[in-house]
Chains A and B, each alone.
Chain A
Amino acid sequence: MKLVPKDMEMFEQAREHIDTIIVPLIGVDFGSDTKSYARMNEFLTILSSEIERQFKGRIILIPPFTYIASSEEEAKKQAALDWKSNFLNEGFKHVFFITCDSNWKAVENDFEQTLIWVPAIPLEGLDDTYKRQMMDEQVRQISTIFSQRWQREK
């Protein structure tokens, strides 16, 4: 589900079935890496909306956690983890972070396997069919991670 009233109505009626939050982590940079951060943004936006489409009935895709790319790692991490504990307190069972920014890999361990990093593949100039296949493949891989988590708790 997305954070829109129509979906939230459904959420309120079926709360016990919707136990997972997805948080995209998206950096912004206007220094030397402008374009590569823009690419990550484009890629992750499409990817997360595809994930949302696939798992509409169990996850909520919230607006991205957005940060200045050059800002300090520790502070970013803390803020993201605060989001996580907040959602867990709200009764959600799973909070997944998804990002293309490899800087997060340094602090991966603090996220206890809930941080999913995917490389942003440049989409410029790719033909539609190919783009779609590629996205599907990514979504499939991430699905496996979700499914494993969900199965484990059963």
Chain B
Amino acid sequence: MKKLINRVEDVVKEELEGIVAAHSDLVRVHFAPNYVVRADAPVSGKTALVSGGGSGHEPMHGGFVGMGMLDAACPGEVFTSPTPDQILEATKAVSGGAGVLHIVKNYTGDILNFEMAADLAKADDIEVEAVVINDDVAVQDSLYTAGRRGVGTTVLAEKICGAAAEAHASLKDVAELCRRVNANGRSMGMALTSCTVPAAGKPTFDLGEQEMEIGIGIHGEPGRERRALATADEVTEMLTRPIVEDLPFKRGDKVLAFVNSMGGTPLIELYIVYRALARYLDGVGVKIERRLIGPYITSLEMAGCSITLLRLDDEMTRLWDAPVNTPGLRWGV
């Protein structure tokens, strides 16, 4: 294993120390239990947004804490959900009296730990609502799975709902909006290489030189199928077609197109994918109104990408454009 780390046990702690050293104007970090809050938390009278999950997906979620996005993020160990006490303390630290929204990605660990935390917060008289993001079309949403995973749409939901909360929308309205974003977002990802969890010391799976995994999640887990390596244009179509057919996205729909790096894939390749995506969507009459291109929800150093399409309405577009000031996303300020 070759990584720029000091000690395996210190990876998450030292990353958080780095974040606070770099961005103390935007965020504060609490240690043991670990959580990141915006510098001016709690904001009185504002619905607070809390998310969290395993570390290893940076900049998500800690990099999305700040004005116009999350109030708090709870980073677990690498690829491991945070614990209920962590989530509870973060919830208390940002509660401004207008309730707290938990944005939870659909993984058994995240669901169980956030559920326990919400129970504890309610016992402390904090109003909590949870919205579960499950946008990954690679997983069948059936009785035979834990349901679709939460992936790329999470980033878009945090931005859009963060803007609504900044404008003092109520907990009920922000939760409703979050469900609407989730209902209109679809994603799919692929891997060219595996990644190495620091504590495991070796790659989670082996991929041959001429192979790729289609339908991966964001935890270095193998995907639904292994295929022979293909060109960027072919891969883009393999990811986009199931996304478009699933919702389905229709002629005349306006979308936000999000091309995401899994961590190891450089922008030069993401733009080649974006080019193919734009052509594909043009061919089916779907109009790209907004776009996000870069590493935003990653899987350590994995090479590969994911594509997310979000069907926009006017309110979502307006909230997407609203100012945001976080370590990971910043515009309009």
Chains A and B bind each other: no
